[in-house]
Amino acid sequence: MSTYRNPVLNADWSDPDVVRVGDDFYLTASSFGRAPGLPVLHSRNLVDWTLVGHALDRLEPAAVFTAPRHDCGVWAPAIRHHDGRLWIFWGDPDRGIFQVNAPGAEGPWTRPHLVKEGRGLIDPCPLWDEDSGEAYLVHAWARSRSGIKNRLTGHRMRPDGTGLLDEGKVIVDADRVPGWFTLEGPKLYRHDGWYWIFAPAGGVETGWQGAFRSRDFFGPYEERVVLEQKDTDVNGPHQGGWVRTAAGEDWFLHFQQRGAYGRVVHLQPMRWEPGGWPVLGDDGAPVAEHPLPALPLQAPAAPARDDDFPGGRFGPQWSWTANPGEGWTLPHPGDGLRLACVRSADAHDLRKVPHVLTQRFPGDPGTVEVELRLDSEEPGARAGLAVLGDAFSWIGLQRGADGAVHLVHRYAESVAEAERDAAHARPAPDGRVRLRIEAGPYARCRFGYDTGDGFRPSGQVFAATPWRWVGALLGLFALAPAGTGDAGTAAFTRFRISTP
């Protein structure tokens, strides 16, 4: 019998939620302060996923996200299908609950609509109840913004999803449930005459997945732990979503926090016991390997990572660290990405720069390579390949004050306000280089370069680090010191990530 192994998405697809439309499954995840945001993935078998695109072109209000805000923006979305459309609701912890909708995964998606304004409103999930004809919404709270946590609030919602019909009521107060803390991430369902809320508690590193049920949406709810680490190596396991196949099989997708790798996604079998409660995984423990869902065969697939940048355009796997500005990329007829060397007073710290083009750090050991040519005469102009997190390191080319181009390798610790040399600068006489990062176990990265005579290692091993809620990122960038005038460009070609 054919099997799959977890994680099914081995990269930072944080806070996943899933929905079925006919024979197709769609998944979305948190994107925080990156743009475009709200990734939309597609699968026919719940195991092999491709990235279709994004539901959010830019974060709003746009002016707030012109600079990186790595732990803000889009938190914990919920995806649903209703009235012939896909709907995604999410919480911005500083602004409130938003939604977008579209006739299909490819769009066009509506502009973000503010459903409920307020600080600390996170993790919303809607329910259109076919039994009663009512529409509801549940959300959690971020204590950092509201002073409230460990409880879920429920509302009646307008059927068109544009607003709420009441002030809300606390429907689950986990302070009253012995041993429960940091209850969040609710997903709302109707099943077998019950209202169900699947919600994790206990924190992302060591918590568990709970289920709550009530005959009435506003409660009272009874609870049960339905998935926990037990004797497995899957810490957490945390927030996710339930989906039922057309044939009636039940499955649950959730994340596991893995440090610099971010929140990787696992698929758990699910069944309903005679008493009406769900049983996830292997009697409540996460499975490492399991028979494939009884779904149509699908060719092995994964979200795209490699890119030749045809026509100077980048693929959907890439996002900026803030809302993009005009002129950051230069389209052209051939292959290769041309980035403008954007002037910035923060050129010494990639964590503060909005025009870094990023994608998720791979969850498996592998090798990252890209070719770079620096087309700038501006002293101090630079471009390169980076690993970004609370700490960062990059390798690339820089135009010196003497007019020559040098191969440079720099890094900054988490507490540092500016970068330092990770290795001595070396000549790059042709202004070209092949760059490499060998990402080993525990996200330990060995940087390397080839200026024409083969690859050589550079500097010490760098251990990738996450941001507060975000895993490490791979990044491409081109920068110049603050000033005026055109500072030239950098050309990147043949971006590849290979695994053994």
Mind telling me the catalytic residues? 15, 184
Q: Containing H/E element for 143?
A: helix 143-146
Short-list 356, 358, 360, 311, CA closest to 338: 311
Backbone angles phi, psi at 259, to 5 degrees: 60, -125
Structural tokens at position 332: 């052209």
CA distance 326 to 376: 19
Structural tokens at position 264: 């990787």
Q: Is the dihedral of CA 295, 300, 306, 307 positive or negative?
A: negative
CA distance 289 to 291: 7
Q: Is the dihedral of CA 461, 466, 472, 476 positive or negative?
A: negative
Q: Which residues pair with 206 in a beta bridge?
A: none
Give rounded-to-5 percent helix, strand, coil for the chain.
5, 50, 45
**Using omega within 30 degrees of 0 as the cis cutoff, is the peptide bond preceding 324 cis?**
no
CA distance 253 to 293: 13
Phi-psi region of 494 (alpha: psi -120 to 50; beta: other; left: phi over 0): left
Q: How many residues does the chain have?
A: 500
The residue type found at 33 is: G
Looking up tokens 């092949």, which residue turns up? 434
CA dihedral 180, 185, 186, 187 (to 10 degrees): -140
Short-list 34, 101, 3, 24, CA closest to 357: 34
